[in-house]
Amino acid sequence: MNNIPTMTKNLLIVNILAFIATYVLERSGINLTSLLGLHFFLASDFRIYQFITYMFLHGGFTHILFNMFALWMFGSVIERVWGPKKFLFYYIVCGVGAGIMQELVQYADYSIQGMAAYQYVNAGGVQMTTDTYINLWTTIGASGAVYGILLAFGMIFPNERLFIIPFPFPIKAKWLIVGYIAIELFSAMSGPGDGVAHMAHLGGMLFGFLLIRYWRNHPDSSQRFSRSHGQEFFDNMKRKFDERQRNSRMKAEPTHQQRETDEEYNARKRQNQEEIDAILDKIRKSGYDSLTKEEKQKLFDQSRKS
């Protein structure tokens, strides 16, 4: 856990604790899914805060296992590129966007079927009113936010090759994302019944795509998340590097070597940071594979120094 970035680690912990609490409190008669899950906005038990709380609940071990594995695998990378603040903001936006998409789909279904059709629905001989029926629509899970993270990885590192079971060969990230979108669209169009909110998954990716496009078209808008275009990970690297440089300068230097002045040191430090910023900006615009061999080596050397 020590190698997992701070925000990704905290999200993993909160999701796991919420999963455990769901089963523990259920024994005491407290249903967290009913209280914190996202209900249809026309239902009597809908609350606005559920757009946030629903994404920290899960319906089973397989559900949370897939989401947390993807969050750890891809979220760790994205947080190191963007920094914790920007990463968390993106995560929440994708999760809320997925919830909004799910609400729109449910409303469309509700409208197409017609309110009159829901007045009495026979379910095993038990008749339910409209309010009782729509109260059954409850959405939970971090899948919308996680799918947004998958999209971000594919857009930042489009040509990065990944090994995905069951394929015995690597797949570029951009084609993996296209495949996920196609599968979710096909599953959504095949009709309801599998208990999976496919349109919510697509909603998380849609809101993530729009947010990334906005940041790319307005790079200054993301500077508030950190000092170096959201690259807090590399800010931390630079800080450690600077501390090590200051410590080394305090030690005695060989007599044949001229001591570096403060002005020379600051100029060299600025030049090095400008080169790193340029490399990071190139990754943000064109992906990691667009870097030259020298640029990759410089980025690798800088990461080792941290």
Q: What is the dihedral of CA 265, 268, 271, 275, to 10 degrees?
A: -120
Q: How confident is the model at residue 246 (pLDDT cuts 50, 70, 90)?
A: low
As a whole-number percent, the residues of the chain with pLDDT over 70 amount to: 71
Taking 70 as the threshold, does the pLDDT of residue 86 lie above it?
Answer: yes
CA angle (8 as vertex; 229, 67 as ends), nearest 5: 125
The answer to whether 108 touches 101, Cβ cutoff 8 Å, is no
The answer to whether 33 touches 53, Cβ cutoff 8 Å, is no
Which of these ranges, 21-30, 109-118, 136-145, 276-285, has the smallest mean pLDDT? 109-118
Task: Name the token pair of 47.
Answer: 């609350």
State which of 125-139, 214-228, 270-284 shows the largest mean pLDDT.
270-284
The answer to whether 230 touches 86, Cβ cutoff 8 Å, is yes
- Nearest of 272, 271, 270, 248 to residue 260 by alpha carbon: 248
Average pLDDT value for residue range 59-78: 93
Q: How confident is the model at residue 134 (pLDDT cuts 50, 70, 90)?
A: low
How far apart, in whole angstroms, are the C-alpha atoms of residue 100 and residue 38? 10
The answer to whether 27 touches 68, Cβ cutoff 8 Å, is no
- 201-239 burial, b if ≥16 CB within 10 A, otherwise e? bbbbbbbbbebbeebeeeeeebeebbebbbbbbbbebbe
Within a 13 Å sphere around the CA of 104, how many CA atoms are in the beta-carbon half? Answer: 11
Task: Name the token pair of 145.
Answer: 């936010």
Terminal C-alpha separation, the chain: 18
CA angle (134 as vertex; 129, 136 as ends), nearest 5: 105
Average pLDDT value for residue range 56-78: 93
CA angle (263 as vertex; 260, 264 as ends), nearest 5: 45
Angle between helices 232-250 and 84-113 (to 10 degrees): 170
How far apart, in whole angstroms, are the C-alpha atoms of residue 236 and residue 275? 16
Q: What is the mean pLDDT of the chain?
A: 79
